[in-house]
């Protein structure tokens, strides 16, 4: 068994060594795994996700940077425009103030405005209010319908009045709220001087603070942008975000405008504006001619709104795509994995099934040992190895001696149990390299592949016998089993698997013949006997089919008259090669193999048919004697078979005489009696053949319903040497005694083997009933016997 496993392992190890070697191959193999779908899909998914997110984030970054750049550029341009607009508006106001100032100074306070109005030198009254105020603070003229009467309490009036005459700068008043409408107003003012330089009043121009931020373009600045004019004093003159206009808040001028930033270099910066906390891209610039700065800002949130929106969409799409990719990868990966698993399972199952089938094909189901096929392979292989290495090996053929009996008495289950235990014991006493197999039934075979010497095989055989001799416990009972072992060795006893097995088998038979529970080595002589026997046995099996049997008949005569009274049927075998084979040569084999039963039936039937045929030919009734062997006699169907043959052939039962051996009277008396009673019931006569050889007693004979005894030919031979009783009366002879005994039991006494005239005379003298022998007739084929009978009939 182990050897068998080794052989399978060999092939698998060889397969395992097949893959290419070296680091490169290893890497290729690893890479090969990557292309497995269940790994490939997740890897691809990861790759796709990396690319996807890198692209998305890059896009977002680029867009954001672009949006920032755009915002900065746009703020700078807006500031340029706004600055230009504010400066122009301021100059227009300043120009108006200068014109009014000049006119008033020259032509008088009262007439200045109407004069200028006529010449269209005043700004539209819808937006601007121009006033002329005298040195005492009284408003002497105004383009507005309603205006305060005096302004002498205002800070601008006081400041302009108190400043030196040479200071001709425009006054930009902090925003004030108009009391009536609540609107923020911006007031610009100039000082008027008299010819002597003294203070002559002020000229003012008022405008809505909203005017300076009316250029707010929501399409450019959004709802959260800022447009503003901030005084260098930190007070907002006007500020607008969306539609909301305000003024008057104070902020840290430096932090918003950066002093001295009149140039173009002031960068657009992103910060939360201090006045409302909104983060804006803001740019501001201090004006050259006025104490003011302009501020433009756009809301970061608004400017990047599109970008943020796009960013969210990109992120959402990327997220969605990622989810889809992951889902797909998961589904594909999972199904691939499942597919792979099911393939693996299927192939594993296939392999397992194949292994199982192979195992079943090569192993005995009961014992788990290798079976005949596998053993044959292993032996063939071992023979090859032994031949190559010039080694010897031994085959031990083992057969249990009483297995059939155990099987019959305890049942097959116990028999199987016994076989399993035997298998276990055999395995336990062998080396790993040895093989034990079960060939079927109770036959086991052991292979010793590495045989040092013949003695080792004997040692093993003895070890097995000893081990098996220990009692087995089956169905709660102890049993002892012995085995017969035949041993043959390679190369001495055979060169191939078949021969070795056969010779081991033959040696085993020899061991059986030697009385069982022993082992025998194979020899050529054993082989010869066995071969002859085997040949005979197989020929016998076919003899009936091929009609090779035939019957000879030997006449039985009445001693007194010398007339033929009956016939004895004698079996002959006409072998196609050997010619006529005598019964003593093949009957023992037929007995042993059980072939005697069908052969016996054939004999009986043929004899009966012949007898009936003679009867039909008008020949007077003849008794027909047929021999039964012990085996036939104990055959269960004997009575039924005979009855059937009688019925079939129409033979008169009273003419049939069955000859049995004397040994039957001694062994198993009861059974013999039962059968005899059956025969007698049919009206058949019973004769004891070869009487006198078994020393059966008179009392024994008396028990049986016998009709005749046939004196054994040895007693008749004794009377041949002229020891005629009357010549030597002091020497009583056994033949006479037997005749006397038979007569006393009213049995017909038949002498057989009568070969001489002396014997015939003796028997006539001693009144033996019937005689038979070469002296009268030797056994003859049917035609000659028929002729003989016809002659007798003719002679009347």
Partner 1 sequence: MSISFPLRASSAILALTIASRVIAGDIVVVMGPSATAMTRDQIANIYLGRSTVLKPVDLPESSAVRAAFYKKVTNRDADQIKTVWSRLTFTGQGQPPKVLPDAAAIKKVLAADPKAIGYIEKSEVDATVKIVLTVD
Tell me whether residue 145 or residue 698 sits nearer to partner 1 (CB atom): 145
Residues 692 and 731: beta-carbon distance below 8 Å: no
Residues 564 and 536: beta-carbon distance below 8 Å: no
Residues 543 and 573: beta-carbon distance below 8 Å: yes
* Residue reference for tokens 């009206």: 683
Tell me whether residue 146 or residue 584 sits nearer to partner 1 (CB atom): 146
Tell me whether residue 125 or residue 342 sits nearer to partner 1 (CB atom): 125
Residues 659 and 626: beta-carbon distance below 8 Å: yes
- Of residues 563, 539, 549, 559, the one with CA closest to residue 620: 563
Minimum distance, C-beta of residue 144 to partner 1, in the bound complex (Å): 10
Distance of alpha carbon 383 from alpha carbon 137, whole angstroms: 144
Residues 486 and 452: beta-carbon distance below 8 Å: no
Distance of alpha carbon 275 from alpha carbon 271, whole angstroms: 12
Token pair recorded at residue 296: 């433009």
Token pair recorded at residue 185: 């107003």
Distance of alpha carbon 487 from alpha carbon 516, whole angstroms: 14
Distance of alpha carbon 440 from alpha carbon 557, whole angstroms: 56
Residues 367 and 426: beta-carbon distance below 8 Å: no
Residues 296 and 27: beta-carbon distance below 8 Å: no
* Residue reference for tokens 């804006």: 280
- Of residues 534, 489, 491, the one with CA closest to residue 509: 534
For 323, counting Cβ atoms within 10 Å of its Cβ (0-12 exposed, 13-18 middle, 19+ buried), the class is exposed
Tell me whether residue 183 or residue 443 sits nearer to partner 1 (CB atom): 183
* Distances, alpha carbon 198 to alpha carbons 22, 111, 374, 494, in Å: 111, 20, 142, 157
Distance of alpha carbon 642 from alpha carbon 648, whole angstroms: 10
Tell me whether residue 172 or residue 567 sits nearer to partner 1 (CB atom): 172
Minimum distance, C-beta of residue 118 to partner 1, in the bound complex (Å): 12
Tell me whether residue 246 or residue 632 sits nearer to partner 1 (CB atom): 246
Distance of alpha carbon 435 from alpha carbon 4, whole angstroms: 8
Please give the angle made by the CA atoms of 619, 622 and 624, to the nearest 5 degrees.
135
Minimum distance, C-beta of residue 241 to partner 1, in the bound complex (Å): 9
Tell me whether residue 130 or residue 406 sits nearer to partner 1 (CB atom): 130
Token pair recorded at residue 746: 């009213």
The 8-class DSSP code of residue 22 comes to S
- Of residues 273, 278, 243, 281, the one with CA closest to residue 256: 273
Minimum distance, C-beta of residue 185 to partner 1, in the bound complex (Å): 12
- The binding site for partner 1 (CB under 8 A) comprises 85, 88-89, 120, 124-127, 145, 177, 181-184, 208, 210-212, 214-215, 239, 243-249
Tally of CB atoms within 10 A around 138 = 15
Q: Is the omega angle on the peptide bond into residue 491 within 30 degrees of 0, that is, cis?
A: yes
Distance of alpha carbon 449 from alpha carbon 611, whole angstroms: 64
| 3-class secondary structure, 291 | coil
- HEC-encoded secondary structure of 566-590: EEEEEEEEEECCCEEECHHHHHHHH
Distance of alpha carbon 648 from alpha carbon 605, whole angstroms: 9
For 283, counting Cβ atoms within 10 Å of its Cβ (0-12 exposed, 13-18 middle, 19+ buried), the class is buried
* Distances, alpha carbon 782 to alpha carbons 188, 606, 618, 767, 786, in Å: 173, 11, 16, 30, 6
Tell me whether residue 277 or residue 476 sits nearer to partner 1 (CB atom): 277
Residues 486 and 519: beta-carbon distance below 8 Å: yes
Distance of alpha carbon 236 from alpha carbon 175, whole angstroms: 8
Chain mean position to CA 405? 44
Bridge partners, residue 570, by sequence: 552
Tell me whether residue 145 or residue 166 sits nearer to partner 1 (CB atom): 145
Residues 397 and 507: beta-carbon distance below 8 Å: yes
Token pair recorded at residue 86: 């504010």
Bridge partners, residue 131, by sequence: 142, 204
């Amino acid at each position: 068994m182990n050897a068998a496993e080794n052989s399978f392992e060999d092939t698998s190890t060889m397969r395992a060594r097949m893959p290419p070697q070296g680091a490169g191959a290893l890497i290729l193999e690893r890479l090969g795994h990557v292309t497995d779908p269940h790994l490939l899909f997740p890897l691809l998914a990861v790759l796709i996700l990396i690319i996807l997110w890198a692209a998305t984030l890059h896009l977002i970054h680029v867009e954001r940077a672009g949006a920032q750049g755009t915002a900065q550029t746009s703020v700078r341009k807006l500031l340029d425009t706004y600055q230009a607009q504010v400066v122009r508006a301021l100059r227009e106001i300043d120009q108006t103030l200068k014109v009014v100032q000049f006119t008033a100074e020259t032509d008088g306070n009262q007439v200045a405005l109407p004069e200028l109005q006529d010449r269209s030198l005043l700004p539209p009254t819808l937006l601007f209010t121009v006033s002329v105020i005298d040195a005492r603070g009284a408003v002497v003229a105004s383009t507005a319908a309603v205006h305060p009467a005096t302004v002498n309490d205002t800070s601008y009036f006081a400041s302009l009045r108190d400043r030196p005459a040479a200071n001709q700068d425009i006054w930009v008043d902090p925003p004030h709220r108009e009391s009536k409408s609540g609107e923020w107003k911006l007031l610009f003012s100039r000082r008027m001087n008299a010819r002597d330089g003294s203070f002559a009043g002020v000229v003012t121009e008022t405008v809505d603070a909203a005017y300076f931020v009316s250029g707010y373009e929501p399409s450019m600045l959004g709802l959260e942008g800022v447009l503003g004019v901030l005084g260098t004093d930190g007070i907002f003159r006007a500020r607008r975000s969306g539609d909301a206009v305000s003024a008057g808040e104070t902020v840290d001028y430096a932090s918003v405008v950066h002093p001295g930033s009149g140039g173009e270099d002031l960068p657009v910066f992103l910060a939360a504006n201090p006045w409302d906390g909104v983060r804006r891209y803001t740019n501001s610039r201090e004006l050259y001619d006025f104490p003011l700065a302009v501020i433009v800002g756009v809301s970061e949130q608004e400017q990047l709104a599109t970008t943020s929106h796009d960013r969210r969409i990109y992120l959402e799409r990327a997220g969605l795509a990622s989810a889809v990719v992951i889902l797909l990868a998961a589904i594909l990966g999972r199904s691939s994995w499942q597919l792979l698993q099911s393939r693996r399972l299927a192939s594993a199952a296939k392999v397992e099934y194949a292994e199982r089938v192979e195992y079943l094909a090569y192993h005995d189901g009961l014992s788990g040992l290798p079976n005949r096929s596998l053993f044959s392979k292993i032996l063939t292989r071992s023979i090859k190895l032994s031949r190559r290495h010039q080694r010897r090996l031994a085959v031990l053929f083992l057969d249990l001696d009483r297995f059939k009996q155990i099987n019959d008495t305890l049942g097959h289950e116990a028999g199987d149990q016994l076989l399993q235990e035997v298998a276990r014991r055999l395995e336990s006493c062998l080396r790993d390299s040895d093989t034990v197999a079960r060939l079927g039934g109770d036959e086991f075979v052991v292979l010793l592949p590495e045989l040092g010497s013949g003695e080792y095989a004997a040692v093993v055989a003895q070890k097995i016998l000893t081990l098996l001799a220990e009692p087995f416990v089956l169905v709660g009972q102890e049993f002892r089993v012995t085995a017969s072992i035949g041993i043959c060795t390679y190369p001495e006893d055979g060169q191939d698997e078949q021969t070795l097995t056969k010779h081991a088998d033959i040696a085993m038979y020899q061991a059986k013949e030697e009385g069982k529970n022993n082992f025998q080595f194979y020899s050529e002589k054993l082989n010869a006997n066995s071969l002859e026997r085997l040949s005979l046995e197989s020929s016998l099996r076919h003899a009936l089919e091929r009609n090779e049997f035939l019957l000879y008949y030997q006449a039985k005569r009445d001693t007194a008259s010398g007339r033929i009274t009956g016939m004895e049927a004698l079996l002959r075998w006409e072998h196609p090669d050997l010619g006529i084979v005598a019964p003593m040569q093949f009957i023992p084999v037929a007995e042993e193999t059980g072939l005697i039963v069908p052969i016996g039936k054939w004999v009986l039937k043929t004899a009966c048919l012949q007898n009936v045929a003679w009867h039909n030919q008008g020949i007077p009734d003849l008794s027909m004697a047929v021999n039964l062997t012990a085996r036939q006699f104990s055959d269960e169907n004997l009575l039924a078979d005979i009855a059937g043959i009688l019925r079939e052939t129409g033979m008169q039962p009273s003419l049939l005489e069955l000859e049995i051996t004397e040994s039957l009277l001694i062994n198993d008396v009861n059974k013999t009696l039962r059968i005899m009673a059956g025969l007698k019931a049919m009206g058949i006569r019973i004769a004891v053949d070869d009487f006198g050889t078994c020393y059966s007693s008179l009392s024994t004979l008396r028990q049986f319903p016998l009709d005749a005894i046939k004196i054994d030919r040895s007693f008749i031979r004794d009377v041949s040497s002229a020891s005629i009783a009357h010549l030597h009366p002091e020497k009583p002879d056994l033949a006479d005694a037997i005749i006397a005994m038979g007569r006393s039991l009213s049995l017909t006494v038949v002498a057989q083997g009568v070969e001489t005239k002396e014997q015939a005379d003796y028997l006539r003298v001693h009144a033996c009933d019937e005689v038979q022998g070469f002296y009268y007739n030797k056994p003859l084929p049917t035609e000659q016997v028929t002729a003989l009978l016809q002659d007798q009939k003719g002679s009347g």
